Amino acid sequence: MLIIEYKEVNGDVQTKEYKNVDEFLTLQMREVPNIQDHLSVVKATIDGKELDFSGNVGELFFKLNSGKYDFK
């Protein structure tokens, strides 16, 4: 399971859950992505392990799509 916590433009923190990384990648490739690319990621976890990541949703997409990511 992939869980992404991200910050909306107004500062509210939201959480989205995905069955796996592939589901997130697929939903982000739509004409209207599931989460706007410019929003800041607060935290992302895969199967309960926190990713070593800092950046926005678009950058997280490219990181996960590359398959090269580390955990904290």
For 48, the domain range is: 2-66
Look at residue 72 and tell me if it is in a domain.
no
Which band of pLDDT confidence, cut at 50, 70 and 90, is reported for residue 12? very high
Look at residue 11 and tell me if it is in a domain.
yes
Q: What are phi and psi of 18, to 5 degrees?
A: -130, 150
Look at residue 71 and tell me if it is in a domain.
no
3-state secondary structure the chain: CEEEEEECCCCCEEEEEECCHHHHHHHHCCCCCCCCCCCEEEEEEECCEEECCCEEHHHHHHHHHHCCCCEC
Instruction: Express each pLDDT in 17-69 by its tens digit.
Output: 999 999 999 999 999 999 999 999 999 999 999 999 999 999 999 999 999 99
pTM of the model: 0.94
**Amino acid occupying residue 72:** K
Looking up residue 53, the CATH number of its domain turns out to be: 3.30.1490.390
* Number of domains comprising the chain: 1
